[in-house]
């Protein structure tokens, strides 16, 4: 069986989801590593040390481990990560040499890791595949306060040209690569992420609400990072327009409650709209506790301007909760509007409010959509994703081996 070197420079899989720079990618890396390990695949995830208390090596499952490497101060901002890529690469190569590790394939995640992966590819002479998770040019098109450096734009193109293959989550992302970066579709493999259907499953709503102390309200839930790209201003505005707004609470899970400028902006907006008592910011919570929040909710909302996949929407569906989401990324591929949720094609508050009113006033419809959502999510387990990814990795490794034999 082969051994895989996963590069995730800026995102440690065991960081708390919803914190700054921590989102669906981190969950993706951890769950995929755990499932691949069950197949006998050796998975080493190399990431920069994000906490001085973390040991160098953390076992996360059978044949799967996380390796923390020094790469600049723990508190360095994401804008300065690029400067520490050489340090990270040198420490990675040192670890490989000292451990005597032999890898068959590199899979890098995000553009910073892609740059490390291209250098590692030259050093080790093994194939390199990458996943970007978000694309700079696509984000810049949206004009919602996102700023991306020219270094990132250029680096993405460099990595795309040098890798053997690019793994994406949706056909839309494949089309974006072709349209924005002129990447050949033959170089791109679409493999959708999955969901842990044993962790995320329907439980008793009354019990979940009792544990959270929210018994007598309609509950609308958002889970994820707190940034302009997520469209939370649309959601807060939508809550203010609900016919049942006085009986509804918006719970926002994610972000850092201490000194986060985006949270401050959103709190000011809710105050301006007169619903500050109906909008609660809860900060980040461990992945293991998220099912409690999903099951306490009546509706989950993902109003993003851009999602490469939108894993949290699938987690909500796995818990039997109907989802209202923007027509972006993954949600439009697994939500059948009117059957297991609603897809909203406009980035404005009114259509979100309209569909929330329909769901909040109709418990029979919520229950029906929730059950259909659970059925859909159950077909997208991490086991099935790992099986598909394992076959893909195997084909890339064999193609590289065949090429070397032909050259010789």
Q: What is the predicted pLDDT for the residue at 219?
A: 96
Which residues fall within 8 angstroms of residue 173, CB to CB, at 6 or more apart? 135, 190, 308, 329
Q: What is the predicted pLDDT for the residue at 243?
A: 85
Domain ranges of the chain: 3-194+382-407, 205-378
Hey, what CATH topology would domain 3-194+382-407 get? Answer: Rossmann fold (3.40.50)
Q: What is the pTM of this model?
A: 0.91
Instruction: Please name which of 199, 138, 161 lies closest in space to residue 377, comparing C-alpha atoms.
Output: 199
Q: What is the predicted pLDDT for the residue at 259?
A: 75
Inform me whether the pLDDT recorded for 358 exceeds 90.
yes
pLDDT tens per residue across span 51-106: 888 899 999 999 999 999 999 888 888 888 999 999 999 999 999 999 999 999 99
Q: Of the ranges 11-15, 18-22, 234-238, which one carries the lowest mean pLDDT score?
A: 18-22
Q: What is the predicted pLDDT for the residue at 24?
A: 82
Q: Tell me the two tokens of residue 237.
A: 């505005």
205-378 under CATH 3.10.310.30, yes or no: no
Say whether 205-378 and 3-194+382-407 share the same fold. yes
pLDDT tens per residue across span 327-357: 998 899 999 999 999 999 989 999 999 999 9
């Amino acid at each position: 069986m082969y051994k895989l070197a996963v590069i995730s420079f800026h995102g440690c899989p065991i960081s708390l989801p919803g914190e700054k720079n921590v989102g669906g990618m981190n969950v993706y890396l951890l769950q995929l590593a755990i499932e691949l390990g069950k197949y006998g695949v050796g998975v080493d995830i190399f990431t920069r040390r994000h906490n001085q208390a973390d040991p160098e090596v953390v076992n996360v499952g059978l044949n799967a481990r996380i390796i923390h490497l020094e790469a600049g101060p723990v508190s360095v901002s994401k804008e300065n990560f690029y400067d520490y890529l050489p340090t990270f690469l040198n420490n990675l190569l040192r670890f490989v040499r000292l451990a005597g590790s032999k890898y068959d394939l590199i899979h890098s995640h995000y553009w910073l890791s892609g740059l490390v992966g291209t250098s590692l590819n030259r050093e080790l002479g093994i194939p390199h595949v990458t996943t970007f998770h978000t694309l700079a040019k696509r984000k810049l098109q949206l004009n919602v306060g996102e700023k991306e450096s020219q270094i990132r734009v250029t680096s993405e193109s460099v990595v795309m040209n040098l890798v053997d293959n690019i793994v994406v989550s949706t056909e839309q992302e494949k089309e974006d690569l072709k349209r924005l970066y002129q990447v050949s579709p033959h170089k791109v493999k679409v493999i959708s992420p999955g969901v842990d259907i044993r962790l995320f499953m329907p439980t008793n709503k009354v019990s979940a609400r009792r544990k959270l102390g929210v018994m007598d309200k309609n509950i609308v839930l958002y889970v994820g990072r707190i940034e302009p790209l997520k469209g939370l201003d649309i959601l807060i505005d939508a809550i203010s327009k609900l016919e049942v707004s006085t009986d509804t609470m918006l719970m926002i899970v994610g972000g850092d409650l201490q000194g986060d400028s985006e949270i401050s902006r959103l709190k000011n907006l809710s105050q301006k709209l007169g619903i500050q008592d109906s909008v609660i910011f809860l900060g980040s919570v461990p992945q293991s506790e998220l099912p409690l929040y999903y099951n306490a909710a009546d509706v989950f909302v993902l109003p993003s301007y851009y999602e490469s996949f939108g894993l949290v929407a699938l987690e909500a569906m796995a818990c039997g909760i109907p989802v209202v989401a923007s027509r972006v990324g993954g949600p439009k591929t697994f939500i059948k509007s009117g059957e297991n949720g609603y897809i909203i094609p406009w980035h404005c508050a009114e259509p979100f409010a309209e569909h929330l009113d329909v769901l909040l006033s109709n418990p029979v419809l919520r229950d029906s959509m929730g059950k259909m959502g659970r059925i859909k999510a159950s077909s997208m387990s991490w086991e099935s994703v790992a099986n598909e990814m394992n076959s893909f990795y195997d084909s890339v490794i064999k193609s590289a081996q065949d090429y070397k034999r032909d050259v010789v």
